[in-house]
């Protein structure tokens, strides 16, 4: 990003103006990054997005119009199912762009274009910094798409890029919540089940939070779109159920607040991850309130990922689990 502009690495082998949709495939945490990106591409570039777990996409024989764009997201660039999805997309006439952390990987080599995440080596099995770097790369790509398609003005681009430039500072401030999170972890570690809720781009973060808690603490957790609460998960809520709600003060905050009131009415223990305005408006009993700084809604997923992931880390550490090498998991899934 130079002079508050998105500068993509090299010339892209496709024109955003000729695209009528994008297909994204990935696995695990990378899939959740793709889910966030869907909101960005559809809002900033008015491009419809199909997104699949790679292991499903490769077998459902999706029809793809030649000349489309397929985006593959992978930390290692060697994920077997994502690589198979890439090859299926190429066989069906798609341009393939990969968002990867290893530029020499198979996925990178077989792609038409590469967006390197530049996260550096990630030692722990559970993907953390790779996730936020994938989000940053995808956000830049969505802004570039919106600019190329005339959806975003020059001023819009500058505003969005300025917000991205501020992310490291905002993350540093979010890290200041760590003592609160460490204290909260002692309560959460006693739980058998945890529910995560979010709307909009916070929904993929709810999925990410639940996955991280499962991966490294072995506590059962589920992430749900907050609007789905009354379509089943509400039956689980009682005084022993922690409900972690990711809710920046945005255009859907009031809807999420209504969900929190439903949880409180059933004695659920609410942990709210929000910002100062959301913290002041949350008029429900809370087990804990974690407030990150004010920020534009665009970059909220990158910053809110910090407390979401730290919760899993401190719960697992308090329980004495190996947070870097959780049981049964491998860093790169290269077999089906």
Within 10 Å of residue 50's Cβ, how many Cβ atoms?
15
CATH class of 16-165: alpha beta
pLDDT grade for 189, boundaries at 50, 70 and 90: very high
**34: which 2 tokens?**
């793709």
CATH class of 171-318: alpha beta
Can you tell me which residue has the tokens 């995440």? Answer: 117
Residue ranges covered by each domain of the chain: 16-165, 171-318
For the chain, what is the mean pLDDT? 94
Apex 130 CA angle, 247 and 17, nearest 5: 80
Measured between alpha carbons, how far apart are the two ends of the chain, in Å?
Answer: 38
Interval 250-257 mean pLDDT: 93
pLDDT grade for 336, boundaries at 50, 70 and 90: low
pLDDT tens digits for range 131-176: 999 999 999 999 999 999 999 999 999 999 999 999 999 999 999 9
Question: Does residue 335 register a pLDDT over 60?
Answer: no
Q: Do the first three CATH levels of 16-165 and 171-318 match, i.e. the same topology?
A: yes
Read off the pTM.
Answer: 0.94
What distance in Å separates the CA atoms of residue 11 and residue 17, rounded to the nearest whole number? 15
What distance in Å separates the CA atoms of residue 152 and residue 178, rounded to the nearest whole number? 37
Within 10 Å of residue 231's Cβ, how many Cβ atoms?
9
pLDDT tens digits for range 13-44: 899 999 999 999 999 999 999 999 999 999 99
What distance in Å separates the CA atoms of residue 170 and residue 164, rounded to the nearest whole number? 10
């Amino acid at each position: 990003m130079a002079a508050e502009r998105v500068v993509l690495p090299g010339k892209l082998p496709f024109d955003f103006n000729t695209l009528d949709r994008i297909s994204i495939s990935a696995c695990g945490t990378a899939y959740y990054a793709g889910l966030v990106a869907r909101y960005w591409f559809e809002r900033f570039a008015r491009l419809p997005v199909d997104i699949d777990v790679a292991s499903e996409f490769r077998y459902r024989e999706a029809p793809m119009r030649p000349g489309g764009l397929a985006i593959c997201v992978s930390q290692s660039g060697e994920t077997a199912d994502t690589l198979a999805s890439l090859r299926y997309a190429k066989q069906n006439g798609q341009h393939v762009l990969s968002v990867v952390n290893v530029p020499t990987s198979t996925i990178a080599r077989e792609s038409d274009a590469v967006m390197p995440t530049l996260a550096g080596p990630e030692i722990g099995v559970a993907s953390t910094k790779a996730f936020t770097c994938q989000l940053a790369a995808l956000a830049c790509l969505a802004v570039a798409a919106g600019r190329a398609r005339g959806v975003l003005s020059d001023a819009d681009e500058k505003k969005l890029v300025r917000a991205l430039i501020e992310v490291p500072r905002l993350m540093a401030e979010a890290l200041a919540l760590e003592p609160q999170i460490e204290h909260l972890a002692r309560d959460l570690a006693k739980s058998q089940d945890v529910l995560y809720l979010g709307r909009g781009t916070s929904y993929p973060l709810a999925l990410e939070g639940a996955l991280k808690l499962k991966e490294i603490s072995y506590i059962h957790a589920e992430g749900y779109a907050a609007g789905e609460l009354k379509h089943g998960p509400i039956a689980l809520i009682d005084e022993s159920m922690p409900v972690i709600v990711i809710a920046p003060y945005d255009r859907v905050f009031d809807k999420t607040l209504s969900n929190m009131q439903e949880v409180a009415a059933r004695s659920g223990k609410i942990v709210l991850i929000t910002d100062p305005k959301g913290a002041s408006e949350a008029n429900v009993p809370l087990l804990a309130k974690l407030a990150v700084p004010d920020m534009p809604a665009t970059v909220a997923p990158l910053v809110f990922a910090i407390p979401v992931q730290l919760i899993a880390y401190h719960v697992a550490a308090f329980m004495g689990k190996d947070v870097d090498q959780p049981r049964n998991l491998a860093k790169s899934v290269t077999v089906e």
